Amino acid sequence: MNEVWTIAEQSGGALKAVSFELLARGRQLADKLGVKLASVVLADSISDEALRELIERGADEVLCVEHPALAGFVCETFAKALVALARERTPQVVLAAATSSGRTLMPHIAVTLHAGLTADCTELDIEEGTGLLLQTRPAIGGNIMATIKTPDHKPQMSTVRPKASRPLDRDACRTGSIERIALDPAFVERRVEVLGLERDVEGFENLEEAQVVVAGGRGLKKAENFKLVRELADALGGAVGASREAVDRGWTSYPHQVGLSGKTISPRLYVCAGVSGAIQHLAGIKTAETIVSINSDPEAGIHKLADFAVVGDLFEILPRLTKRIAERRAGVAEGACK
Ligand SMILES: Cc1cc2nc3c(=O)[nH]c(=O)nc-3n(C[C@H](O)[C@H](O)[C@H](O)COP(=O)(O)OP(=O)(O)OC[C@H]3O[C@@H](n4cnc5c(N)ncnc54)[C@H](O)[C@@H]3O)c2cc1C
């Protein structure tokens, strides 16, 4: 029976969290189909220990393609390696992350294999009876959820948003195989040379990795007031998020936008003020652990999803909350020094 594959991502031999999120999705699909789940890794060098984590988090098999040319992402080289492997082993489903490399790589492979591809899926399932992959994603401006099938071509391919699912816990008792495969040197793309990778860290807040996010929406009324959100985020040691309304008005920049056309985040704590809870905003916070909403309208949609709903005026609540938390933190720090 043909396998389900997930394409893992790594950097410098360290697997990225999204590789484990994909395995959680893939595991459900493979179990429904009664087939094996394989995780495919492309790397210049990666330890057995790192690959073993893929098995502990759901894979039955790890296929690791290796070559010094796989140190940095070069779409053509990665695509040729994966196409050759897919032609040889004919997986029925291939999942990759909807990251910039996944979004670049998967269309390339789909075209070469004459397969279908659904980008940015929020839900995946297996259809009863046919065993086809049901690929659900927002469509028509986010107003409907469309479920797409590709019955005539294999593999069925999808990209999945990072942070849209939680990785499975590590299970050291899980067993599986690790196969290392040398890349055919003919696949190395000679026209592209990676000279180096530079990370832009100045003023950068990694919203997707943040444990605490404080977000503001149109209820803040004007740009100057957005500092209330920043102050609370600073007091909590968190990152700043925003609704699209706040971004469109220029109160903060697009990298801070949370939601369907912004980022999907998975913090332990999400506090939002003056955000109504439109479906497109909620799409970005479904996997947040604890949601605190501050909104003066008791009927606001955000209150229904929130774990703690504060009905009130954000201009009164935010400064009080910030002050209390800053005082509490200062008290703890003082206590620690004594
Ligand atoms: C294709 C598409 C993609 C989209 N993508 C996104 C996306 O990624 N992210 C996103 O956020 N939106 C997105 N949207 C827009 C979305 O539909 C909403 O318009 C947007 O989320 C609303 O932003 P908001 O909650 O800040 O504003 P509003 O809906 O205007 O809500 C403002 C809230 O503030 C409250 N309020 C007002 N004054 C106070 C006060 N003094 N104290 C407390 N509360 C107060 C009000 O009660 C109200 O609930 C998208 C839309 C489309 C069509």
Total domains in the fold of the chain: 2
Name the residue among 25, 20, 4 with its Cα closest to residue 55. 20
Average of per-residue pLDDT across 162-178:
93
Contact 275, 281 (CB under 8 A): yes
> Does residue 147 line the site of ligand 1, with CB under 6 A?
no
> Does residue 120 line the site of ligand 1, with CB under 6 A?
no
**Does 108 map to a domain?**
yes
Instruction: Among 35-44, 93-102, 161-170, 235-244, name the one with the lowest average pLDDT.
Output: 161-170
Q: Within this chain, do residues 32 and 166 fall inside the same structural domain, yes or no?
A: yes
Residue of 281, 282, 292, 321 to mutate, ligand 1, most atoms within 8 A of C-beta: 281
Is residue 190 classed as helix, strand or coil in its secondary structure? coil
Tokens of 226: 């957005």
Distance, in Å, from the CA atom of 15 to the CA atom of 41, rounded to the nearest integer, reads 9
Query: Could you tell me which residues come within 8 angstroms of residue 182 by beta carbon, excluding any fewer than 6 positions away?
Result: 65, 66, 67
> Does residue 297 line the site of ligand 1, with CB under 6 A?
yes
Whether residue 83 is predicted with pLDDT greater than 80 in this model: the reply is yes
CATH of residue 88's domain is: 3.40.50.620
Instruction: State which amino acid sits at residue 112.
Output: T
Alpha carbon nearest to ligand 1 atom 22, residue: 245
> Does residue 260 line the site of ligand 1, with CB under 6 A?
yes
Distance in Å, CA 219 to ligand 1 centroid:
8
What is the per-residue pLDDT across 120-149, written as a single tens digit (0 to 9) for each?
A: 898 999 999 999 999 998 887 667 889 999
Distance, in Å, from the CA atom of 273 to the CA atom of 253, rounded to the nearest integer, reads 17
Q: Within this chain, do residues 30 and 152 fall inside the same structural domain, yes or no?
A: yes
**Does 161 map to a domain?**
yes
Tokens 């410098």 sit on residue: 12
Backbone torsion region of residue 39, taken as left when φ is above 0, otherwise alpha when ψ lies between -120 and 50, otherwise beta = beta
What is the per-residue pLDDT across 283-303, written as a single tens digit (0 to 9) for each?
A: 899 889 999 999 999 999 999
Distance, in Å, from the CA atom of 119 to the CA atom of 105, rounded to the nearest integer, reads 11
What is residue 29's predicted lDDT score, i.e. its pLDDT?
A: 98
Name the residue among 261, 264, 268, 218 with its Cα closest to residue 238. 268
Distance in Å, CA 76 to ligand 1 centroid:
40
Q: Within this chain, do residues 54 and 169 fall inside the same structural domain, yes or no?
A: yes
What is the per-residue pLDDT across 228-279, written as a single tens digit (0 to 9) for each?
A: 999 999 999 999 999 999 999 999 998 899 998 888 898 999 999 999 999 9
**Can you give the residue range of the structural domain that contains 284?**
212-337
> Does residue 245 line the site of ligand 1, with CB under 6 A?
yes
Enumerate helices (H) and strands (E) in the chain, giving the number of each.
Answer: 9, 17
Distance in Å, CA 4 to ligand 1 centroid:
38
Q: Within this chain, do residues 182 and 219 fall inside the same structural domain, yes or no?
A: no
pTM of structure: 0.73
Q: Within this chain, do residues 128 and 233 fall inside the same structural domain, yes or no?
A: no
> Does residue 124 line the site of ligand 1, with CB under 6 A?
no
Distance in Å, CA 280 to ligand 1 centroid:
9
Distance, in Å, from the CA atom of 135 to the CA atom of 25, rounded to the nearest integer, reads 12
**Does 221 map to a domain?**
yes
Pairing of strands 156-160, 117-121: parallel
Q: Within this chain, do residues 245 and 304 fall inside the same structural domain, yes or no?
A: yes
Residue 50: φ, ψ to 5°:
-65, -45
